[in-house]
């Protein structure tokens, strides 16, 4: 595995590639990330992973400084998974000067749900991903990037970004990986105490229950969805969680369900805080 830090080094390492396959990450890699690498590997002629904790997508009170950085373990996992090139820019390599040009995603898609509770998050994500795409794919006829569906809204926002800017990059979704008790794997699970870790699966159980209720009420969902969501949030609150949202949306645009939207067209999404850890999860239904 070739480890590079600067954009010129990365471009030199990829000089003979015509179709890179790319998995961007913030490091602290777990089986969720590694499954994306395995999925991406056969889709290109060079497998590239980036590790960069992107300051632009964190709010001032969020965990940028404490975000787990596990360089040695990450390198070993990537080597074992068959990564060809690891791009690990330092902050000055990616942002040599303040990043004053930004990618502003469509507010209809990006200012709701995660964007409502983390204002500016998707601008930070789109800006860094555009820059990473330019570093990896500039001059290539085509490319593939794999994003985990655990970050469902992020995946949709980035898919739209690529469409609207006509980038020759295919955005491929990667399935959420789960622990034995069904908790979605996430770097932030490492913040949970033992008791919180045992409780954490309740977010996905509450989403499952909401999905079940939504499908059972499919015919009247546009009238009922807010009441079903309120019930789901109250159930988690009663267990000591602080939910930001638990909601039923259309898969295509994350807007509330309309008459006729049923199984196959919907997704349930949730974000909730357990102690000081904020977890997210979703299921397509
Ligand atoms: O999902 C992530 O880990 C990050 O948001 C990403 C896409 C690597 C951008 O920093």
Neighbour count for residue 18 (Cβ, 10 Å) = 13
Best substitution site from 55, 151, 155, 282 to test ligand 1's pocket, by max atoms within 8 Å of Cβ? 151
Predicted pLDDT at 198: 98
Give yes or no: residues 75 and 196 share one domain: no
| Residues 28 and 140 grouped into a single domain | yes
Which atom of ligand 1 is least distant from the CA of 148?
1
The 3-state DSSP class for residue 230 equals helix
Q: What is the pLDDT of residue 219?
A: 84
Note the pLDDT of residue 163: 98
CATH of the domain at 6: 3.40.50.620
Known binding residue 31? Answer is yes
Ligand 1 atom closest to 53 (CA): 10
**Each residue's pLDDT expressed in tens, for the chain with a length of 285 residues:** 999 999 999 999 999 999 999 999 999 999 999 999 999 999 999 999 999 999 999 999 999 999 999 999 999 999 999 999 999 999 999 999 999 999 999 999 999 999 999 999 999 999 999 999 999 999 999 999 999 999 999 999 999 999 999 999 999 999 999 999 999 999 999 999 999 999 999 999 999 999 999 999 888 888 888 999 999 999 999 999 999 999 999 999 999 998 888 889 999 999 999 999 999 999 999
- The answer to whether 29 is annotated as binding is yes
- Spatial distance between the Cα atoms of 225 and 254, rounded to a whole number of angstroms: 13
**Whole-structure pTM value:** 0.97
Looking at the structure of the chain, the number of domains it has is 2
Q: Is residue 181 part of a domain?
A: no
Contact 46, 22 (CB under 8 A): no
SS3 of 128-157: HHHHHHHHHHCCCCCEEEEEECCCHHHHHH
For 130, residues 6+ apart whose C-beta sits below 8 A from its C-beta are: 103, 161, 165
Residue 241: inside a domain: yes
* 193 and 154 in a common domain: no
Residues in the chain: 285
Domain that holds residue 272: 187-284
């Amino acid at each position: 595995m070739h480890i590079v830090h600067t954009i010129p080094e990365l471009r030199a390492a990829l000089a003979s590639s015509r179709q890179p396959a790319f998995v961007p990450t913030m490091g602290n890699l777990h089986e969720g990330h590694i499954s994306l690498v395995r999925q991406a590997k056969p889709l290109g002629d060079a497998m590239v992973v980036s590790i960069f904790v992107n300051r632009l997508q964190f709010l001032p009170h969020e965990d940028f400084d404490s975000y787990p950085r596990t360089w040695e373990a990450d390198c070993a996992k990537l080597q074992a998974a068959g990564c060809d090139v690891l791009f690990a820019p330092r902050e000055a390599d990616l942002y040599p000067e303040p990043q004053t040009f930004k990618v502003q995603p469509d507010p209809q898609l990006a200012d709701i749900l995660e964007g409502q509770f983390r204002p500016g998050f998707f601008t930070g994500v789109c800006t860094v991903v555009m820059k990473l795409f330019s570093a990896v794919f500039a001059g290539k006829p085509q490319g593939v990037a794999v994003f985990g569906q655990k970050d469902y809204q992020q995946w949709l926002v980035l898919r739209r970004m690529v469409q609207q800017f006509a980038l020759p990059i295919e955005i491929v979704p990667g399935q959420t990986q789960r622990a034995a008790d069904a908790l979605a794997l996430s770097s932030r699970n490492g913040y949970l105490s033992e008791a919180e870790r045992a409780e954490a699966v309740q977010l996905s159980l509450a989403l499952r229950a909401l999905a079940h209720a939504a499908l059972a009420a499919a015919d009247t969902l546009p009238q009922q969805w807010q009441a079903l969501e309120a019930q789901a949030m109250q159930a988690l609150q009663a267990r000591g969680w602080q939910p930001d949202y638990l909601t039923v949306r259309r898969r295509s645009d994350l807007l509330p369900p309309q008459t006729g939207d049923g199984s196959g067209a919907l997704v349930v999404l949730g974000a909730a805080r357990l102690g000081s850890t904020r977890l997210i999860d979703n299921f397509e239904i």
